[in-house]
Amino acid sequence: MAKLRVAYEYTEAEDKSIRLGLFLIVSGIVSLFILGFCWLNPALQDLQGKAANCTVLSVQLQTGELFECTFSCGADCKGTSRYPCLQIYVNSSEAPQARALLLHQDQQQLLANPKCSYIPPCERENEKNSDIVTHWQDYWEDEVGSQPFTCYFNQHLRPDDVLLRRTHDESVLLHCFLWPVVTFLVGVLIVVLTICAKSLAVKAEAIKKRKHS
């Protein structure tokens, strides 16, 4: 009876280990697909932009049209205010022909407002938003001026725009593949070790029976 109970407990532990291993294998595969579609695809689009040398052609503050932004002043306090549109036109060494390209802070701001080069941190008062944009205008006119700087240009995705910085870098690719693959390999390792342990236990039991017979 004791031997049967020990064998039952051993089998139950094996089943739990195999279920854990299979769960990790499935989790690794599913997470790889989720990260691939939700995170890896936009990261790859961002990384396709080539690093180039850009120089400022013109800095224009469009005061006639104001854009809305959403500010937060607490847990249950939100509202909208407005800011003027700053347009910074540059030329890029990677552009196929010399033409004015609109500069954007990053991919997120480009998608949020493709008409403007800068979206300020949204304040409640419109005047504060205007002051922030004006300060940014002075920075590009006075401090940057005609000095070349690094920008990122994607001729196929956005031929009329350049980015000042990338939202993602190569580490995103590493994390997208590393953790799902590690989870998958740990699951496979658990299943393989459990099967090997069971196989060794069966062989050891067979050897004992041969010795006693």
The answer to whether residues 148 and 54 touch, using CB atoms and an 8 Å cutoff, is yes
3-state secondary structure of 67: strand
**Domain hosting residue 176, numbered range:** 15-48+169-198
Which pLDDT score, from 0 to 100, does residue 4 have?
Answer: 44
Q: What is the pTM of this model?
A: 0.59
Asked if residue 204 is part of any domain, the answer here is: no
Which pLDDT score, from 0 to 100, does residue 59 have?
Answer: 92
The structure tokens 């099967």 sit at: 195
Asked if residue 210 is part of any domain, the answer here is: no
| Domain match, 190 and 138 both | no
**How many domains does the structure of the chain reveal?**
2
How would you label 63-98 residue by residue, b for 16+ Cβ within 10 Å and e otherwise? eeeebebebeeeeeeeeebebbbbbbbbbbebbeee
| Domain match, 19 and 32 both | yes
Backbone angles phi, psi at 116, to 5 degrees: -115, 155
Which pLDDT score, from 0 to 100, does residue 132 have?
Answer: 93
Could you list the beta-strand ranges (E) of 24-181: 50-74, 77-92, 101-104, 149-154, 158-163
Asked if residue 110 is part of any domain, the answer here is: yes
Asked if residue 30 is part of any domain, the answer here is: yes
| Domain match, 155 and 188 both | no
Backbone angles phi, psi at 189, to 5 degrees: -65, -40
Residue 176 DSSP one-character state = H
pLDDT string in tens for the chain (213-residue length): 444 444 444 567 777 878 888 888 888 888 777 766 655 555 555 555 677 888 999 999 987 889 998 888 777 778 889 999 999 999 887 766 667 899 998 888 888 899 999 999 988 889 999 999 999 999 999 888 888 888 888 776 678 888 888 765 556 566 667 777 888 888 888 888 888 888 887 777 777 777 766
